Amino acid sequence: QVQLVESGGGLVQPGGSLRLSCAASGSIFSITAMGWYRQAPGKQRELVAAITSGGSTNYRDSVKGRFTISRDNAKNTVYLQMNSLKPEDTAVYYCNARLLLTPSYEYDYWGQGTQVTVSS
């Protein structure tokens, strides 16, 4: 089975930084894309950033210039470097991976979520 394990969340002051990691493990043929979503209380889950197998990245407007997504294909790991954090970044952050388990079967998987709190 496939698992996504997240780490790196926590409490940080406004203007501070955090680095989230998400490692995919299990029987994986290849990774189509990996990314990060977040959900704040009372709000819809929203895309934060994503990176495709070809290296293309996508960010929501509110995090452009502050967040950077990267990957280590050898380790099946995606990272989210978050700088200049704002209180409105507070949310549970979920790792997402679109994986090929076989050459003909592609499916989305989700991590358990990690809390990011930006507060003084």
The mean per-residue pLDDT over the stretch 4-13 comes to 97
The mean per-residue pLDDT over the stretch 9-23 comes to 98
99: closest CA among 40, 30, 49? 30
Tell me the per-residue pLDDT of 57-67, one tens digit each, with 9 for 90 and over.
999 999 999 99
Strand, coil or helix: what is 63?
helix
The mean per-residue pLDDT over the stretch 93-100 comes to 94
